[in-house]
Amino acid sequence: MMVVGVTLLIFYSFMESHSEQLKVVGPEASLDAVAGENLVLPCFIKPNTSAVDMTVEWLRLEEMPLLVHRYRDHADRYEKQTPSYRGRTSLFKEELQKGNASLKLSPVRVSDEGEYKCLIEDKSWYDDIIVHIRVEAQGSHPVITMESYDNSGGVNLVCESRGWNPEPDVLWLNSEGDPLPAEETQIDRDTEGFSVKRRITVHDYSDSNRFYCRLQQKHHMIEAEVIINSKVFEAWKWDVGISVSACLITLGAIITAVICYKKGNLKIPL
């Protein structure tokens, strides 16, 4: 009995020592992902130790953690998997024996952005790491519209786009590609991402009335172009002239009506 007791003590001491040496490791920095593409969330046991007989769980950290993927008893277990991840997660089964428990997520969605926990558990040991994902999504092609004329004779333009994550930088550029001063960017957020809108007033530069609205992120950049004919600016002068003439005519009609009214009310002495 003494020999058996010593043997068990040595065995458990070995297991405890072995477990203390194992550690789950992953990326130290956040992962940048692009919506629509595949992403691998790294998670490894160090030193390399087979995870084939272990339990691997990937959780999305929120107020109530969501089960993203579970591997247990040599098989994937999908019974309690969060519906939004069904059909989009997998482990590299041939790599489990090397201690690689990385998760493949495909395709990435904007809603996947957040923190994830990789937890690996054995009978006498467990450890975990946190992986943060930032998802970048390119929005719709920018649309430029002319809103109105400015009092100074310029044209008011507005550039709009939606569906971005995170919000992009919005730049107005001249024909040489130089930034132009514009109003502050209006930013709104909904379930589809960020919507942006930025206005600018441009004036007649004769042979270079070409303007660009550029939206850019870390991995995306798109722009729209607008060319304004000088006649558009000339039309403003006609509008102003017509408006002034209309005002003068209206004012003249009012004055005439007042004079006639007063004359009509004058009493002629007998």
When pLDDT is averaged across residues 114-118 and rounded to a whole number, the result is: 97
E strands, the chain, are: 23-25, 31-34, 39-41, 44-46, 55-60, 66-72, 75-76, 89-91, 103-105, 114-122, 125-136, 143-149, 155-164, 169-173, 186-190, 193-202, 210-216, 221-227
Give me the mean pLDDT over the 159-163 stretch.
95
Taking only the tens place, the pLDDT of each residue in 226-235 is 998 877 767 6
Mean pLDDT of the chain: 83
Mean pLDDT, to the nearest integer, of 100-115? 95
pTM, 2 dp: 0.69
Distance between CA atoms of residues 211 and 176, nearest Å: 9
Q: Is residue 137 classed exposed, middle or buried when 0-12, 13-18 and 19+ CB atoms within 10 A define those classes?
A: buried
Is the pLDDT at 196 greater than 70, yes or no?
yes
Output the CATH code of domain 143-232. Answer: 2.60.40.10
How long, in residues, is the chain? 270
Tell me, what's the pLDDT at 20? 62
The two three-digit tokens of residue 182, written as one number: 């514009």
Classify 44 as helix, strand or coil. Answer: strand
User: CATH: 2.60.40.10, 3.30.460.10, 2.10.60.10, 3.50.50.60. Which one for 22-136?
Assistant: 2.60.40.10
What pLDDT, on the 0 to 100 scale, is given for residue 102? 98
Report pLDDT for 206.
Answer: 62
Domain ranges within the chain, ordered by starting residue: 22-136, 143-232
Domains 22-136 and 143-232 share a fold: yes
Residue with more model confidence, 55 or 256: 55
